[in-house]
Amino acid sequence: MYSTRSRLGTYFDDCGVIGREYWRFSGSDPRFTTDLLGGDNSVLDNNTFYITGPWADRYRSVKNANLILEFLDGQDLSGQFTTAEIAATKGLLKTFIAYELLLNLNLTYENGIRVDVADENNLGPFVSKNDALAAISSMLSSGASDLSSGGSAFPFILSSGFSGFDTPSSFRQFNRAIAARVAAYQGNASAVLSALNESFFSLNGSNLDEGVYYTFSEEQTDFPNPMFITVGGSSAAQARVVQPDFITDAEAGDSRLNKIAQLDGPITLDGLTGDFVVLLYNSNNDPIAIVRNEELILLYAEANITVNPGEAVNALNIIRASANLGPYVGAVDTASLVNEMLNQRRYSLYGEGHRWIDMRRYNKLGELPLDRPADDVWAQFPIPLTENQ
């Protein structure tokens, strides 16, 4: 869907800046280094682009999907589509609805979201974080059931970002991968492992990047990759500057430091100075991951910390080896393994929108660095003023 990619850059900057992965320098909008970082007694505004933009576009995707579902349920389409094709379409739409709702919940967290939004003239109430996660999980399960009845092919063509996941059965594996993420957010280890078992998770798979991606292009009717800024084009007016602790905290030899690049000299904005910038993408056409096997291995490790600590270490060592690091030699109590897991997620999933959420769900936001004396680390965004609560 076109709208699923709109304001993605804002969403990732929200998570990346508050999660202290990087600073977003923008000469045209100081709110990236004031509001998002809590600088100079700033607070998050409920009527500003960093929440109203991604919030509205995620719900726009949900609305579009709901309109199609309503059409499918309200018409006799037996002359145009088979029962299996209709089921496959419903499964895909429900998966997208659940995922879009999850992204908005990631922003507002304990403030909740609306889940029942099928009737735009009679919107359902805001529900709590826990109820929202339960509803998202249920939507994913319903979508998975539809996909199981979806036959061998969709009645439409998916983008190249779904290569390998473009049939109902393979798309269902993507659905289950997102379900594993949701189960982790719920703290349900057994549900994580169950969902992973039905996903494309591969513990010993050589391709950590296997997964589903947003795709981009520079065509007039499409979106360019919103996270790409050239190293040479980075300046105080436009840059994603690496928070220095990402470099100093890294283990020697960690190959994941190739996700950043050093500038010829430091740049400074609003009391923040750095000489490394984010380099996750090499062009405006590069895809952005929705979910990758590397994340699934880390979810498997996380779930096993309390189920089978030895297996958790095994999974973490696979990630460490992929980054040219030696095996984990620390303690194997729960607290130590959680810290190691979070550290591996920090480097493996850098800039992909996870760090802030991970530290928040483990009540570790207080461990994120404050770069200026008056800065704050926010736990959540306010509900947008446009909701007229």
Instruction: Name the β-bridge partners of 386.
Output: none
Give Dmax (Cα) for the chain.
Answer: 67
pLDDT at 120: 87
Domain contains 382: no
pLDDT of residue 281: 98
Buried residues in 314-325 as b, exposed as e (16+ CB within 10 A): bbbbbbbebbeb
Parent domain of 40? 2-371
> What is the model's pLDDT at position 40?
86
Per the domain annotation, does 81 fall within a domain?
yes
Which amino acid is residue 61, in one-letter code?
Answer: S
Task: Name the domain count of the chain.
Answer: 1
**CATH code, domain carrying 286:** 1.25.40.390
| Tokens 């296997």 found at | 210
Is the separation of the CB atoms in 93 and 68 below 8 Å?
yes
**Segments of the chain with pLDDT less than 70:** 1, 389
In a domain, 132, yes or no: yes
- Cα(239)–Cα(9) distance, rounded to whole angstroms? 13
pLDDT of residue 41: 87
| Residue 243 forms part of a structural domain | yes
Q: Is residue 181 part of a domain?
A: yes
Give a yes or no: residue 357 inside a domain: yes
How many CB atoms are closer than 10 A to CB 369? 12
What's the pLDDT at 1?
A: 61
What is residue 258's predicted lDDT score, i.e. its pLDDT? 98
* CA neighbours closer than 13 Å in the CB half-sphere of residue 145: 6
Sequence-ordered list of residues with C-beta below 8 angstroms from that of 331, at least 6 positions apart, any chain: 337
Determine the Cα–Cα distance for residues 294 and 183; give it in Å rounded to an integer. Answer: 17
Q: By the 8 A CB rule, do 286 and 224 touch?
A: no
The answer as to whether 381 is a domain residue is: no
d(CA 260, CA 246): 10
Pairing of strands 113-114, 126-127: antiparallel
Say if 157 falls within a structural domain: yes
**pLDDT tens by residue, 122-147:** 999 999 999 999 999 999 999 999 99
Q: Which of 33, 65, 325, 291 is nearest to 180 (CA)?
A: 291
For 215-266, the pLDDT digits (tens) are 999 998 899 999 999 999 999 999 999 999 999 999 999 999 999 999 999 9
CB under 8 Å to 286, separation ≥6 — which residues? 216, 225, 228
Q: Whose CA is closest to 135, among 105, 163, 157?
A: 105
Q: Where are the beta strands (DSSP E) in the chain?
A: 22-26, 113-114, 126-127, 211-214, 238-242, 260-269, 272-278, 288-292
Which amino acid is residue 175, in one-letter code? N
